[in-house]
Amino acid sequence: MLPLVKFCTRAVNKIMGLIPNDVINRVIERSDIVEIIGNYTALKKAGRNFKALCPFHNEKTPSFVVNPDKQIFHCFGCGVGGNVVGFLMRQEHLEFPEAVRLLANKAGVVVPEGESDTPSPSRQLREAILKVNALAAAFFHEGLVTHREADVKTARDYLKGRGVNLETVKKFQLGFAPNEWDALLKYLKSKSISEELMQKAGLIIAREGKSGYYDRFRNRIMFPIFDIQNRPLAFGARALKDDDGAKYINSPETVVYTKGQHMFGLQLTKTAVGKSDRMIVVEGYMDMIMPYIHGVENIAASLGTALTVDQIRLIRRYTRNVLMLFDTDAAGQSAIERSLITLVEEGMNVRMVTLDKDKDPDAFIRSSGIDAFEKRIDQAESFFDFRLNWYKAKYDIKTSEGMSQFFHKMKETIALSGDPMIQAHWAKQFKEKFKVSERLMLEQLNQFIKEERTLSNVPRVALETRKGEELLLALFLKDPAWVKAAQEKAIGPEDFSDGLIHTVVEAMWTLEAESGEWSTNDLLTRLNDESARSLVARLISVEEGQLGDTARVFQDCIGSIYKKKQRETRSQLMEAIRQAEAEGDAEKLDQLKEQFNQLLKT
Ligand SMILES: [Zn+2]
C-alpha cells in the first residue's frame, strides 16, 4: 500500500509543478476565498454566501456565488467554478503552480525551494520550445518591420494592400521569413540554440540524405499562433508567390502545439468575447484579422477544417453563443456540417452567417465594406433555418426521392439537440414552414410527426442519464460515504457515460484508493480540466434540500446504471448473435442464445 501512495503523490506533484501536497493544502487552508475574490469583484452578503457580478461573463444581475463554508465559487450564469486556486488561474491566467505560489506569498506559507523547484524534463522542454518560438517570432517580426529587401517589400505591399497597417502587424506580431535556406537557423545559432531544439520546435527540417538542416519557412508572411496566455505555440506561413508550393504551410505538431486545440487571435479578443457574450468563428488568419482591424473584436479563427471539441470547450470558457462564418465552397461545406453538429451536441447556441458565394470575410469586407459585413452578422440564421435552407437547396424536393431525403435530414437535425424544449421548438417551426397542400408533402409530414414522437425519446433518455449521473456525483460530493457505498455495489468510473462526470469520478476513485480520507479541495487540486472543476463546484453549490431523500436518490441512480449496463450487454449480445447467424456458426449461436436467456432472467 505505502509504495503505491508514495508513487502516486510524486506523480501528481510532477503535474502540479512539484509543490508537495501538504504545502498545497496548507496554502489553500490559509487563504480566504472571500478575501481573495473580493479584490476582483464587489461581494455582497446573501445568507451564508456572498454574491457578485461575475468577473468572467457580462451580466446585469449577480449570479456569481462564493461559499465561505466550502471555500468554493460558482457562477450560475456561465457555469465556471472551483476553489481559490482555480479562481486565480482563470482570473490571472496562471498555471496551477504559479497560482499556488501567488497565494502562498499572500498567506505567508513557504513553498520549499531546491529539488521541488526543478521542473520536470517535459516541462523544461515545453518552456525551452516556447522560448525558441518567441525568438523566432521576434526574428520574423523584426524582418518584416525593418528590412528593406525587395522580397520584404512585396510582403509589406501585400499586407498594405489588404489594409493591414503597422499597428496591426505589431498586435499580431506578423513577420516575414527571408528567402534563404538558413536565415533563421543562423540567427538562432547566434543565440546559442541547439539544432535539436529548433527541430523539436518545428522550425527547421533535416536535409534528406545529407547532414544538416534547413529553414522550414522561407519567403513567406508569418502568422504566429498564440495561446490565450499569449505564448507563441506555432506558426502559419503564407506564400508570397502563387507558384511557391502550398499557399499556406504550418508548423508541425510539437510538444507545445496540438492542432485543433487553439483559436487564432483569441488572446487578443477573449475579453471582448466575454463581454459581448458571443463569438464569431472564422476559418483563416486573414478572415480573423480583417474584421478585427475594422473594429469587430469578438472574433477568432479555427485554423482547421472543422471545430474540435477541445476548441468548443475553449470557446465555452467565454461564451455559449457562436456565430459560424465559414466559406460555403465545396470543401467548406462538410467542415461547416461537422462543426455545427459538434457545437449543437456540446450544447452551444449556434447561428450561421453567410456571405456572398465564394467570398471569404477578407474579400467580402474589401468589396462590400464593414457595414455590410456587420449587417450579415446581425442577420445570422439559426442553426435550424440554416439546415432547412441548405437541404432544401441540396435535394430536389419536387421528386419523391428528393423529398424523402430532405425529410430524413431534417429529422436528423431535430434529433441533434439533446434538449427536448429545443426539439419541440424546431419541430413546430418545421411544421409551420411546410404548410403545403401537395399530398406527397402531407404524407411525408405526417410520417415525420409520427417518427418525431419516437425519435424525441432518444435524446431524452440521454438527458435523463446525464441527470442521474450528476445526482449521484452530487451525493458523492456531499458525503464520501456514498462513494464507498457505490464501490460496494461494484460501480466504477466506466459506468458513467458523460465524459466530464467520468473524469471526476475517476479522480475520486483514485483518491479513495490512495487514502480513504480526502477533501473537496484534494479533488479540485487533482482535476486538471477546468470544466471538471466547474462541474464539481456547481454540484457542491446544490442546496442540501434539493437532493431530497438521499438514500432513495442513491438507489434510483444505481438502479438506472444497472439497467443501462444491462441494455448495453443485451445489444452487444444481439449484435454477436446476428454475426454468428451470418457466419453460420451454430455452436457459437447456441452459446450466445443461452447467455441471452440468462440475461433476460436477471
Ligand atoms: Zn459567470
Rounded to an integer, what distance in angstroms lies between the CA atom of residue 213 and that of residue 181? 9
**DSSP characters over 101-140:** HHHHHHHTPPPP-GGGGSPPHHHHHHHHHHHHHHHHHHHH
Ligand 1 centre to CA of 301 (Å) is 24
Ligand 1 centre to CA of 478 (Å) is 24
> What are 140's three cell numbers?
520574423
Ligand 1 centre to CA of 232 (Å) is 28
Res 585 pLDDT > 90: no
What order of strands is seen across the sheet that includes strand 44-46? Answer: 44-46, 49-52, 64-67, 72-75, 81-83
Ligand 1 centre to CA of 341 (Å) is 25
Give the type of residue at 466: R
How high is the pLDDT of residue 285? 94
Ligand 1 centre to CA of 75 (Å) is 5
The pairs formed by 517-521 with CB atoms below 8 angstroms and a separation of 24 or more are: 518/480, 520/70, 520/72, 520/83, 520/477, 521/25, 521/28, 521/71, 521/83
How high is the pLDDT of residue 157? 93
Ligand 1 centre to CA of 105 (Å) is 27
> What are 518's three cell numbers?
480526502
152-173 pLDDT, tens digit each? 999 999 999 988 999 999 999 9
The CA angle 55-56-58, to the nearest 5 degrees, is 85
Q: Find out whether 540 and 70 touch, Cβ atoms under 8 Å.
A: yes
Ligand 1 centre to CA of 320 (Å) is 11
The CA angle 272-275-281, to the nearest 5 degrees, is 50
Ligand 1 centre to CA of 319 (Å) is 9
CA distance to 345, 415, 489, per residue, from 322 (Å): 13, 20, 42
Local structure of 349: helix, strand or coil: strand
Residue range 239-247: average pLDDT? 82
Residues with CB under 5 A from ligand 1 (ion): 54, 56-57, 75, 77-78
Rounded to an integer, what distance in angstroms lies between the CA atom of residue 316 and that of residue 205? 37
Rounded to an integer, what distance in angstroms lies between the CA atom of residue 73 and that of residue 37? 9
Q: What is the 3-state secondary structure (H, E, C) of 484-529?
A: HHHHHCCCCHHHCCCHHHHHHHHHHHHHHHHCCCCCHHHHHHHCCC
Per mean pLDDT, which of 214-218, 307-311, 376-380, 534-538 is the most reliable? Answer: 214-218
CA 501 to chain centre: 16
Ligand 1 centre to CA of 54 (Å) is 4
Ligand 1 centre to CA of 14 (Å) is 31
447 pLDDT tier (thresholds 50, 70, 90):
low
Ligand 1 centre to CA of 502 (Å) is 24
Residue range 16-31: average pLDDT? 82
- Across 77-81, 219-223, 343-347, 381-385, least confident range: 343-347
- Across 12-21, 86-95, 259-268, least confident range: 12-21
Could you give the angle at which helices 550-583 and 586-601 cross, rounded to 10 degrees?
A: 160
For residue 25, is it left (φ>0), alpha (ψ between -120 and 50) or beta? Answer: alpha
How high is the pLDDT of residue 2? 35
**DSSP characters over 143-190:** HHHH--SHHHHHHHHHHHHTT--HHHHHHTT-EEE-SSSSHHHHHHHH
Ligand 1 centre to CA of 104 (Å) is 26
Q: Higher-confidence residue: 598 or 133? A: 133
CA 536 to chain centre: 18
Q: Find out whether 486 and 476 touch, Cβ atoms under 8 Å.
A: yes
Res 399 pLDDT > 60: yes
Ligand 1 centre to CA of 72 (Å) is 14
Res 386 pLDDT > 50: yes
Ligand 1 centre to CA of 461 (Å) is 29
Q: Higher-confidence residue: 537 or 93? A: 537
- Across 36-40, 184-188, 298-302, 413-417, least confident range: 413-417
**DSSP characters over 432-476:** HHT----HHHHHHHHHHHHHHHHHTHHHHHHHHHHHHHHHHHHHH
Ligand 1 centre to CA of 392 (Å) is 39
Q: Which backbone phi and psi does 541 adopt, to 5 degrees?
A: -75, -10
If you count DSSP H runs as helices and E runs as strands, how many of each does the chain have, helices first?
27, 16
Sole residue written with cell 465561505: 68
Ligand 1 centre to CA of 279 (Å) is 16
Ligand 1 centre to CA of 534 (Å) is 11
Ligand 1 centre to CA of 81 (Å) is 9
Res 232 pLDDT > 70: yes
Ligand 1 centre to CA of 55 (Å) is 7
Ligand 1 centre to CA of 52 (Å) is 10
Res 309 pLDDT > 90: no
Ligand 1 centre to CA of 158 (Å) is 42
240 pLDDT tier (thresholds 50, 70, 90):
confident
Ligand 1 centre to CA of 312 (Å) is 17
CA 531 to chain centre: 9
Ligand 1 centre to CA of 276 (Å) is 13
116 pLDDT tier (thresholds 50, 70, 90):
very low
Local structure of 584: helix, strand or coil: coil
Q: Find out whether 352 and 324 touch, Cβ atoms under 8 Å.
A: yes
Cβ count near 508 (within 10 Å)? 24
**DSSP characters over 274-337:** HHHT-EEEESSHHHHHHHHHTT--SEEE--SSS--HHHHHHHHTT-SEEEE----SHHHHHHHH
Rounded to an integer, what distance in angstroms lies between the CA atom of residue 25 and that of residue 184? 46
Residue range 455-476: average pLDDT? 68
> What are 17's three cell numbers?
509543478
Ligand 1 centre to CA of 350 (Å) is 19
Beta strands at 349-352 and 321-324: parallel, antiparallel or unpaired? parallel
Ligand 1 centre to CA of 466 (Å) is 22
Ligand 1 centre to CA of 59 (Å) is 8
Residue range 397-412: average pLDDT? 80
Ligand 1 centre to CA of 327 (Å) is 32
Ligand 1 centre to CA of 385 (Å) is 29
What residues pair up with 352 in beta bridges, in sequence order?
A: 324, 381
Give the type of residue at 251: S
578 pLDDT tier (thresholds 50, 70, 90):
confident
What average pLDDT is seen over the chain? Answer: 83
What residues pair up with 324 in beta bridges, in sequence order?
A: 281, 352
Res 575 pLDDT > 90: no
Residue range 448-462: average pLDDT? 50
Per mean pLDDT, which of 56-65, 187-196, 222-231, 357-366 is the most reliable? Answer: 187-196
Residue range 11-28: average pLDDT? 69
555-572 pLDDT, tens digit each? 888 888 888 888 888 888
Predicted structure pTM score = 0.61
13 pLDDT tier (thresholds 50, 70, 90):
very low
> What are 438's three cell numbers?
401537395
Rounded to an integer, what distance in angstroms lies between the CA atom of residue 417 and that of residue 422? 7
Rounded to an integer, what distance in angstroms lies between the CA atom of residue 238 and that of residue 245? 10
Buried b (16+ CB within 10 A) or exposed e, 227-266: bbeebbbbbbbbbbeeeeeeeebbbeebbbbeeebbbbbb
Q: Find out whether 325 and 359 touch, Cβ atoms under 8 Å.
A: no
Ligand 1 centre to CA of 41 (Å) is 12
9 pLDDT tier (thresholds 50, 70, 90):
very low
Ligand 1 centre to CA of 58 (Å) is 7
